[in-house]
Structure 1
Amino acid sequence: MTTLRISSRFNGPPDSGNGGYVAGLLAERSDHDVVTVVLRNPAPLEVPLLVRDGGLFHDETLIAQSSAGEFEYEVPPPVSHAVAAAARSGYQSSELFGRCFGCGILREDGLRIQPGVVGEGVVAAAWTPDGTVPVGAPLLWAAMDCPGGWSVPEMFERPAVLGSMTAAVHDLPAPGEDCVVVGVFHTQNGRKARTSTALYGADERLLGRAEQIWIRIAS
């Protein structure tokens, strides 16, 4: 058993952990190459969390559960860094996500990944890891999280939170390397939407890929 503590820096919604980062923390403790993490409850910040039998617990409350995963969709193709950087001008955020570690525009110490539309159902964002957070699975899972969400139609008007994420990390970027994250919307059924993301390095090598299920927040 392992005890973790999620720093308040790594929030998604204001009082809980960023879904991708939390999932990545759990996934890096798995022996599987492709890992699915289902998020059951918001991850509290700055408290001890226990990893047990592939699950992340706060006391007896199950926060997330990991298992072997598999992909359903093709890897989103790369987008040039210039196109991804220009797309940022079309990014919209919201009060709910303005301070998100992944995509919040009100954060100076976040990833500031701000995806903009580059095609039908496709968004992209430029991202450069600054070296203030160790470059490993949790950081890459966090980077691949939000772009999937922002590919979902009407995400600004009808926000959704991450329900589950399946991902694999193939390589790590160097601090200061110009990267691109691509997000693709696939389907929506009721409150559930399915997306995929891919993270590319400066030479367009595939650093990681992911698929997500998003759950619309009930109005």
Structure 2
Amino acid sequence: MTESFVIARRFRGPEESGNGGYTAGMVARFVGGDAEVTLRRPPPLERPLTVTRQDRQVLVHDGADLVAEGVPVRLDLAAPDPPTPEEAAEASRSYAGFTRHFFPGCFACGPDRDPGDGLRIFPGWVPGRDLVAAPGRAHPSLPAERGFLATEIAWSFLDCPGAWAMERDQEQRPVVLGRMAARLLDPIPVGTDLLAIGWPLGREGRKLFSGTAVFGPGGTLHGIGRQTWIVLG
């Protein structure tokens, strides 16, 4: 039996393609457990993407075109201590995306999205620390399973904070997700207040590397991620 999934327009990043973290999370569902997903082309919206398996690898195609591939991975990355919720809220007020955003309709970090429609994660720099942070919420309108956020939504929370952590290296150009690995720990209950952070890990030419994490009340670590971003232009 052929497996497939569709990326609804709600879950876009750029206007005509899927949010990278959401897409990677959909692929991770087929991998199971910790996964690393590489995006080979912009994920198309509103049409079935075919899923096939080759040994331990998951391949996603749009017709004959390879869109993404996922593999199991052991993610060995430690998260920094989170700022306080008050520090995250204050940092979010200085979110650079409020004044310049290449993808303002992005499901995860787009300021044009309404509450309950997008995640509205607006990461800003925390004074005295080399990381960005933002508050968030597991809104009841988000896809969930048995009272917990769906895998692809947890991956979405882990996505864009990594891009904004590399804001100083983007040279005023857009970036898109090229590769993402994530480990989900405690499931995120619907309705939970969250705190997302991102921190820089380095650069090689047009490739930027960052880490991300999502925390719940009391500093509970729900998930951690590592991204490779591609600078466009």
Equivalent in 69, 93, 97 of residue 65 of structure 1 = 69
Equivalent in 158, 180, 196 of residue 144 of structure 1 = 158
Note the alpha carbon deviations across 1:141-171, whole angstroms, 9 max, x for none: 0111000000002447122111000001112
Which consecutive unaligned segments of at least 5 residues does structure 1 have? Answer: none
What secondary structure is seen at the aligned counterpart in 1 of 2:96?
coil
Deviation at 1:95, TM superposition (A): 4.3
- Name the structure 2 match of 1:187: 202
Amino acid paired to 2:150: G
- Name the structure 2 match of 1:208: 223
Is 1:163 matched up with 2:178?
A: yes
User: Percent identity, aligned pairs only?
Assistant: 36
Q: Distance in 2 between matches of 1:28 and 1:85?
A: 31
Amino acid paired to 1:5: V
Deviation at 1:202, TM superposition (A): 1.1
Amino acid paired to 1:142: S
Q: Distance in 2 between matches of 1:79 and 1:52?
A: 41
Note the alpha carbon deviations across 1:88-137, whole angstroms, 9 max, x for none: 11102234221100000001110000000014431001001111112121
1:121-140 map, 5 Å:
121-134=130-143, 135-140=149-154
Deviation at 1:139, TM superposition (A): 0.1
What secondary structure is seen at the aligned counterpart in 2 of 1:167?
strand
Equivalent pairs counted in the alignment come to: 217
Q: Distance in 2 between matches of 1:156 and 1:136?
A: 34
Q: Distance in 1 between matches of 2:171 and 2:133?
A: 16
Deviation at 1:176, TM superposition (A): 2.0
Deviation at 1:46, TM superposition (A): 0.5
**Structure 2 contact 113–120 (Cα < 8 Å) conserved:** yes
Amino acid paired to 1:127: G
What secondary structure is seen at the aligned counterpart in 2 of 1:28?
helix
- Name the structure 2 match of 1:97: 103
- Alignment RMSD (CA, Å): 1.4
**Structure 1 contact 101–111 (Cα < 8 Å) conserved:** yes
Q: Distance in 2 between matches of 1:159 and 1:104?
A: 13
What secondary structure is seen at the aligned counterpart in 2 of 1:127?
strand
What secondary structure is seen at the aligned counterpart in 1 of 2:23?
helix
**Structure 1 contact 14–96 (Cα < 8 Å) conserved:** no
1:37-48 map, 5 Å:
37-48=37-48
**TM-score, length-scaled by structure 1:** 0.94
Deviation at 1:189, TM superposition (A): 1.2
